[in-house]
Structure 1
Amino acid sequence: MSTQSTSRAAGPATVAGWVLAPLALAQFICSFAGSNMNVMLNDMSEDLNTTVPGIQISITLFLLTMAALMVPFGKLTDLLGRKVCFLLGLGVYAVGAILSALAPGLGLLILGNSILEGAGTALLIPPVYILVTLYWKDLRSRARSFGIVSAAGGVGAATGPLIGGWICTAISWRAAFVFQALVIVVIILMAIRLKDPVPADPSRPYDVVGAILSGGGLVVFVMGILAIDDSVALGLSLLVAGAVVIGGFYFWIRGRERRKKEALLSTSLFRVRVSNLGLVTQNFQWLLLMGISFLVASHLQVIRHYDAVQSGVIFSAATVGILVSSLAAGRLVKSIAQRTLIVTGFLVTGIGTVLLLLVGAVPGAWPFAPGLLVIGLGLGVMLTPSVNLVQSAFAENLQGEISGLSRSISNLGSSFGTAIVASILGISAAGNADNYVAAMVPLIVVAIVGAVVAGFLPGRRALATSGAIPATG
C-alpha cells in the first residue's frame, strides 16, 4: 500500500477515541518530569548529601538532554517506525525513573533522571506529534487533538510541583519517580494496540555527523548560559562556540543535500515563514512556562522556606488556567485566527508575569495565585495553535524531521528558561541584589517579544491561500 493511501486510511473517520489517550498521557508525564523536582530541592539535596544548585543542574540537564536528542531521535522514527520509537522511549524512560528512585547520590540521579529519562523523552515525544498529524487530517480535528495533547503537557508541567510536592511530603521524593515509572507502564499497555500509519523504512541512511553536530552545539550553547554564573568570560566563550557548532551543522546538512545525500534535517524546513515564526513562539512559550515555574518554586523554598506541599499547592492556579484555555483552544480555532490566539496568549502571559513581579515582596504564598492563573490562561490558549501551525506546514514525508525539530526547539526553550533563571539568581545573589525581581524581568521581556513575533504570523486567509495549512475551517 502506498504512503498516501495508508495515510488516508488513518483519517479521522477511522481513528478510535482511545488512540489519543496514550499520546496525551505520555506528553503529560514528560512535562511533569520537567517541573516536579522544582519543589523537592531542599529534600533531595539533604537526602543525597549535595546542594540545591546541584539538584537545579540535574533539572537543567534533563531538559537539555531532551533538546539535544530530539532532532536525532525524531529522524529515527522514519527508520524504526513511530510506534517502535514510542515504545522504546517509554522503556528507556522507565529505567531512568527507577534508577533515579534508587539513587544514593547526585551522580546516579543525573544518570537516571537527566540522561536516561531525558533520552527516553526525546525518543517518545516526536512520535506523539507525528501520529497526531497523520491520524487527524483536517484543521479542526487536528487542532482538537493537539489541544488535548498540549493541555496534557501544560497541565503536566503545572501540576508537577503540586503532585510532586504532595508525594514528596506524604511519602518521599523517591516515590515521585516510582509514580512516573508506574504511569509509563500504564502508557505501554495502552500503546501496544496503536497502529503506525506509515511503514518504517530501515533502508534510509542516517546522518550520524549531523546528529553529533546538532546535539553537541545545543549542549555547548546551553552550558554557556549556565557557566555565566561562575565566569562571564567562560560563559560567553561557550555561547560563541555553541553558535559556531550549530552554524557548522547547518552548512553540513546543506552540503549533504547538494551531494544528493539525505541529511539529518532538510534545509527546506527553514524556508517556511509560518513554521519559522511558529518555532520561535514555541521556544518562548516553554521558556516562560519552565522559567516561571523554576523561579517561583525556588523562591518559595529557598527564600521563604516553604515545604514541598506548600510550594506545590500554589501552582494549582496555573494548572487550572492551562487546562481551561488549552481545551478551549481547540474550539476557539474554529472562529478565531491562530495568529490572534498566539498574540493574545503572549500578552495575557505578560500581564501574569507583571503580577508576579509586583507580589515579590508581599508576605505569604497565595498572592502568587492570581499571576500564576493568568499565566496559565495565556500559555494554554497559545500552545495548541503554535504546534498546529508548525506541524501542518509540511507534508507527511517531513513529519519525522519537523516533529523532532519542533520538540527540540520547545525543550530548548525549557532549558533556556531554567538556565537563564538559575544564572541570574546566582549572579544576583552574589551581588546581594533582589534575585527574584532580577530573574523575573527577562521573562516579562520574553513575553512582550513573543507577542511581537507572533504578530508577523500570517492570518487565516493568507495561510489557506499559501497552502501551508489546510483551507478547511
Structure 2
Amino acid sequence: MTSPKEAPAAPDKLDSRVLKIAAVVVLGATMSILDVTVVSVALTTFTREFDTSYATVAWTMTAYTLALAAVIPLTGWAADRFGTKRLYITALALFVLGSVACSMAWDITSLIGFRVLQGLGGGMLMPLSMTILTRAAGPDRVGRVMAVLGIPVLLGPVCGPILGGWLIEVASWHWIFLINPPIGVAAMVAAYFILQSDEPSPSEPFDFLGMLLLSPGLATFLFGVSSIPDVGTVASARVLVSGAIGLTLIVAFVLHALSKDHPLIDLHLFKDRQLTVAVITMLMFVVAFMGAGLLFPSYFIQVGGHNTLGAGLLMAPQGIGAMLTMPVAGWLVDKIGAGKIVLTGLPLTLVGLVVFTQVAADTSTWLLMGALFVMGLGMGCTMMPLMTAALVTLSHEQVARGSTLVNIVQQTATSIGAAVMSVVLTNQILSHGTAGLAVASRGDTPEAAQIAAQTPPPVLANAFSQLADAFGNTFVVAAVLILLTFIPAFMLPRKKSETPDLEAEGARTVMMH
C-alpha cells in the first residue's frame, strides 16, 4: 500500500510549494494592477498640477496600456528563451524603475513617457504570473490557481482608488508612484529565493518579423481607438489613419503567423474550440465591464459631488462582491466546468449594470453601492473561470503562449472598452444641452466655483439631471454588450474539461514532482 508521503499530490488542494509561488506572483501582479486604479483617481489632479486638459492627462493611462499591448506578445517567447524566473525579476525591476521615474516627472510629457517605461515592465507581469502558477499547479488545479491570481484583480478596484485618493489628499500625487518601489523590491527578493529556476528552451527561433508586425500594429491600432475621446469623432485623420495602419499590420501578422511553425503568438491555439469560445466571451465581457467600470468614479465625482477619496470608497463594494465569489468559482470550475459558473455571473453583472442605466442626479448612493456589489459578485463568477476555460485544455508546452494570448485579448478589450464608453459619454454630454455646464461647475478650481455661483440654482439642477441622463444612456450601451455576451457564453463547457491526452498526462507528471 502506498504511504501518504509517496502518493501523488492531492489535486484538490494547493500544497505549500504552490501557495508560496502564488504569494510571490500575486505580490508583483497586485503592484501592476494597483498602479492602474491608483492613477485613475489622479487624473483631475494632473490637469491642475500640470495646467493641461483632461484629454491630455488621460494619456497617462493610455500610454501605459499601449506599452502593455506592445510588450505582451514578446512575453511567451522570452519566457521560453530566458526562463520565467529570470524574466519575472527583470519585469519587476523595470516596473520599479519606471515608478521612480514617474514620481520625478517635471511635466505631463515626461510623465506620459515614464508611464510607457512602467508599462513595459507591467505588461510582462500578469502573463508571466499566469504561466508560472499554471505550470506549478498542474491542469487539475488551474481553476483554483486562477482564483488565487484573481486576488490582484480584486484588490485593484477596492484598494487602488481608496489608496490613490487618500495619498493625494494627505500628501501629493508623487506618492501614488512611490508606493511601488518597496513592494517591487520585496517581490524581487521573494522571487529570487522562492521561484524555481526553469531551464530556458531557446530551440525556437525568435519571430522578428512577427514582432515587427504585431507589436507596432497593436500599439498603433489602440492609439487610434484611444484618440477618439480626444478628437471627439471617429472621422478624424488621427483616428482613421492610425486605426487603418494598425489593422493592416495586425492582418499581416495573422497571415504570417498562420503560415509559420513558431510565430510570436500561436494562432493555431484557436483550433482548440474551448479556448476560442472562452476568448470571444472574455473579449465581449471585458469591453462592457471595464468600459463601464472606468466611468463609475467619474459619475460619483461629477454628478454625486464626491471627492477622489469618497469616490474610491464608494467603489469598494464591487471588489468585496468579487472577493466573495471568485474563490468559490475557482473551486467549482474545476468540478463542473466554466459554462455554468459564467452563466451565473453574467446575469448578476447585468442586473447591477441595469441599475446604473436608470441613474438620476439624486439616485440613492446606497442603491448604487448595492448595484456595484452585485456586479462584483458577477465579475467574480466570470473573469477567472473564462481564463481557466481558455487555458485548462492546453498542454504544458502551450501554457505560456496561451496565457500571452489571453492577456493580449484582455488588454486590447480594456482599451477598446475605455475608448468606446468615453466616446459615447462625450457625445451624450454634448447632446444633453446643459450637461456640460454641470461638468464645468464641479471641482475645486476658482473657475468652477465662479460658474457654480453665477448659475441660477434651477438651471444648475437641470444641468446635473441632464448629466446623469448622459451617464445612464452610456451605461445602456454597456448593458446591451453584456446581454450579447450570453451568446458565446452558452457555448462554454458545462462539465469538467478533459486535458489533452498524452501531453497533458506528461505535464501532470512533471508538475507533481
| TM-score (normalizing by structure 1) | 0.89
Secondary structure at the counterpart of residue 348 of structure 2 = helix
Secondary structure at the counterpart of residue 362 of structure 2 = coil
Letter in 2 for 1:218: L
1:435 aligns with 2:470: yes
Deviations 1:302-336 (A, max 9, x none): 44442111110101111101111112212333554
The alpha-carbon deviation at position 134 of structure 1 amounts to: 0.8
Measure the CA separation in 2 of the matches of 1:273 and 1:332.
21
Measure the CA separation in 2 of the matches of 1:323 and 1:73.
28
Whether contact under 8 Å (1:222, 1:239) holds in the other structure is yes
Measure the CA separation in 1 of the matches of 2:301 and 2:57.
13
Ranked by relative contact order (alpha carbons within 8 Å, sequence separation 6 or more), the top structure is 1
Residue 55 and residue 304 in structure 1: after superposition, are their counterparts in 2 closer, same or farther (change >3 A)? farther
Which residue matches 1:5? none
The alpha-carbon deviation at position 67 of structure 1 amounts to: 2.3
Which residue matches 1:464? 498
The alpha-carbon deviation at position 200 of structure 1 amounts to: 0.7
Measure the CA separation in 1 of the matches of 2:227 and 2:269.
31
Which residue matches 1:353? 353
1:407 aligns with 2:411: no
The alpha-carbon deviation at position 138 of structure 1 amounts to: 4.2
Whether contact under 8 Å (2:226, 2:416) holds in the other structure is no
The alpha-carbon deviation at position 32 of structure 1 amounts to: 1.5
Q: Does 147-156 or 87-96 show the bigger shift?
A: 147-156
The alpha-carbon deviation at position 130 of structure 1 amounts to: 0.7
Which residue matches 1:167? 167
1:453 aligns with 2:484: no
Residue 335 and residue 83 in structure 1: after superposition, are their counterparts in 2 closer, same or farther (change >3 A)? closer
1:128 aligns with 2:129: yes
The alpha-carbon deviation at position 120 of structure 1 amounts to: 0.6
Unaligned runs of 5+ in 2: 1-7, 434-468, 509-513
Measure the CA separation in 2 of the matches of 1:62 and 1:302.
25
Measure the CA separation in 2 of the matches of 1:236 and 1:436.
26
Residue 32 and residue 333 in structure 1: after superposition, are their counterparts in 2 closer, same or farther (change >3 A)? same
The alpha-carbon deviation at position 99 of structure 1 amounts to: 1.4
The alpha-carbon deviation at position 426 of structure 1 amounts to: 2.5
Q: Paired residue for 1:246, among 235, 250, 257?
A: 250
Alignment map for 1:110-189 (pairs within 5 Å):
110-113=112-115, 115-139=116-140, 141-189=141-189
Whether contact under 8 Å (2:37, 2:160) holds in the other structure is yes
Deviations 1:378-425 (A, max 9, x none): 001122211111122211222221111111111112212221122222
Which residue matches 1:96? 98
Whether contact under 8 Å (2:288, 2:481) holds in the other structure is yes
Residue 349 and residue 49 in structure 1: after superposition, are their counterparts in 2 closer, same or farther (change >3 A)? same
The alpha-carbon deviation at position 109 of structure 1 amounts to: 1.3
Measure the CA separation in 2 of the matches of 1:326 and 1:143.
10
Deviations 1:68-108 (A, max 9, x none): 32112232111111011111111111111111112121112
Paired-residue identity, %: 21
Residue 337 and residue 263 in structure 1: after superposition, are their counterparts in 2 closer, same or farther (change >3 A)? closer
Residue 450 and residue 151 in structure 1: after superposition, are their counterparts in 2 closer, same or farther (change >3 A)? farther
Which residue matches 2:439? none
Secondary structure at the counterpart of residue 194 of structure 2 = coil
Measure the CA separation in 1 of the matches of 2:504 and 2:201.
27
Alignment map for 1:390-401 (pairs within 5 Å):
390-401=390-401
Which residue matches 1:200? 200
Letter in 1 for 2:84: R
The alpha-carbon deviation at position 250 of structure 1 amounts to: 0.7
**How many residues are treated as equivalent by the alignment?**
458
The alpha-carbon deviation at position 367 of structure 1 amounts to: 3.6
Measure the CA separation in 1 of the matches of 2:46 and 2:186.
27
Letter in 1 for 2:89: L
1:296 aligns with 2:292: no
Which residue matches 1:21? 23
Secondary structure at the counterpart of residue 193 of structure 2 = coil
Which residue matches 2:107? 105
Letter in 2 for 1:370: G
Mark the structure with the bigger radius of gyration.
2
The alpha-carbon deviation at position 56 of structure 1 amounts to: 1.9
The alpha-carbon deviation at position 377 of structure 1 amounts to: 0.7
Deviations 1:10-39 (A, max 9, x none): x96672532210111222222212222222
Whether contact under 8 Å (2:342, 2:386) holds in the other structure is yes
Letter in 2 for 1:246: I
Residue 210 and residue 148 in structure 1: after superposition, are their counterparts in 2 closer, same or farther (change >3 A)? same
Whether contact under 8 Å (1:349, 1:377) holds in the other structure is yes
Secondary structure at the counterpart of residue 15 of structure 1 = helix
Measure the CA separation in 2 of the matches of 1:263 and 1:197.
25
Q: Does 60-69 or 243-252 show the bigger shift?
A: 60-69
Q: Does 202-211 or 357-366 show the bigger shift?
A: 357-366
Alignment map for 1:212-291 (pairs within 5 Å):
212-229=212-229, 230=231, 231-234=233-236, 235-257=239-261, 262-291=262-291
Which residue matches 1:310? 310
Which residue matches 1:424? 424
Measure the CA separation in 2 of the matches of 1:414 and 1:33.
15
Letter in 2 for 1:54: T
Letter in 2 for 1:73: T
Deviations 1:190-240 (A, max 9, x none): 111233464112453211221121122222322332333423223345434
The alpha-carbon deviation at position 374 of structure 1 amounts to: 0.9
Whether contact under 8 Å (2:65, 2:119) holds in the other structure is yes
Measure the CA separation in 2 of the matches of 1:306 and 1:245.
44
Which residue matches 2:322? 322
Whether contact under 8 Å (1:225, 1:239) holds in the other structure is yes
Secondary structure at the counterpart of residue 119 of structure 1 = helix
Measure the CA separation in 2 of the matches of 1:246 and 1:87.
30
Measure the CA separation in 2 of the matches of 1:335 and 1:73.
30
